[in-house]
Amino acid sequence: MADKSSTTIAELIRGNIGGLTRAERQLANALMANYPVAGLTSITELAKTANVSTPTVLRMAKKIGFSGFPDFQSALRRELEATLSNPIAKHDRWALDVPEGHILNRFASATIDNLQTSLQHIDHKMFDKVSGLLADQDASIHIVGGRITHAIADYLFTHLQVIRKDVHMLPSSAGLWPHHLLNMDNNAVLVVFDVRRYEADLYKLAELAQERGTLIVLFTDQWMSPISTTALHSFNLRIEVPSGWDSAVATLFMVEALIASVENTLWPHTSSRMSELEALFDATKRFRKSP
């Protein structure tokens, strides 16, 4: 029987992937493609979805440590309850002695739902392709945001310019963007942040950049900016919360995940740049050091 610890079934599958047969890997891929919902159907339905036999489902469940399919499903249900129900039902995890209807808990619930739903709709292959584009040191990277999203664009820029060379942040003034378009060609990537209310200046910038052969990567919301029609890749992230403003949590999460991915890809180069940067900080005495 599997260890009923905090280890998730997804982690168990990844940890045992080397010992799975071809059919079992096919089943694992089908399960992970719609995790954990795919595993909560009947054994017959799961086998049909993965185009494998029901004995294959039983064998994989046992290989990753479960006594059988019912034990496997029970663990999945407990996992789902821990990730979905508890943050809502046990509101004291977010704010002690605060009513469930308090804005802190309502906002937390909406934010968690935004992140979970966004992740369910993200294509991992697309994520990897965008990471590859940002890590390609033969390409120049240009980043721009709108009235509110400019801050997230600047956050991405601040990190990427340390990780690699040839990263450029467009100014908040759209009147200066044509100067930056001069440096965009078919060896450039333009990262655009545009959520409702979608900005006409950003759409025009993306259109002009695409005409110059520049690849467009878009961070937008579930309703999708018009720029999605010109973008090669789009991250459609959930942003709605109980507020007059939209939430940037899911967007910032995806930005930070990309930063980590690009950093890992370029680490030998990046570590050298970071060391050089730290030496420059020391020379300027910007940061206080312990005596």
Q: pLDDT tens digits, residue range 36-72?
A: 778 888 999 999 999 999 999 999 999 999 999 999 9
Task: Tell whether the model's pLDDT for residue 237 goes beyond 70.
Answer: yes
pLDDT value at residue 7: 67
Task: Tell whether the model's pLDDT for residue 215 goes beyond 80.
Answer: yes
User: 177-195 burial string, b = 16+ CB within 10 Å, else e?
Assistant: beebbeebeeebbbbbbbb
Which amino acid makes up residue 67?
S
Higher pLDDT, 289 or 4: 289
Residues 6 or more apart whose CB falls under 8 angstroms from that of 24 comprise: 52, 56, 59, 60, 63
Look at strands 215-221 and 188-193 and give their pairing: parallel
Counts of helices then strands in the chain (DSSP H, E): 13, 5
Task: Tell whether the model's pLDDT for residue 84 goes beyond 60.
Answer: no
Confidence of residue 114 (pLDDT cuts 50, 70, 90): confident
pLDDT value at residue 77: 84
Q: What is the DSSP letter of 171?
A: P
- Please provide the CATH number assigned to the domain covering 9-83: 1.10.10.10
- Please provide the CATH number assigned to the domain covering 124-280: 3.40.50.10490
Task: Tell whether the model's pLDDT for residue 147 goes beyond 50.
Answer: yes
Query: Considering the chain, what is the average pLDDT of its residues?
Result: 86
pLDDT value at residue 82: 47
The structure tokens listed for 187 are 């060896």
pLDDT value at residue 15: 78
Is 130 within 8 Å of 258 (Cβ atoms)?
Answer: yes
CA 108 to centroid of chain Cα atoms = 19
Mean local confidence (pLDDT), 2-19: 70
pTM score, whole prediction: 0.65
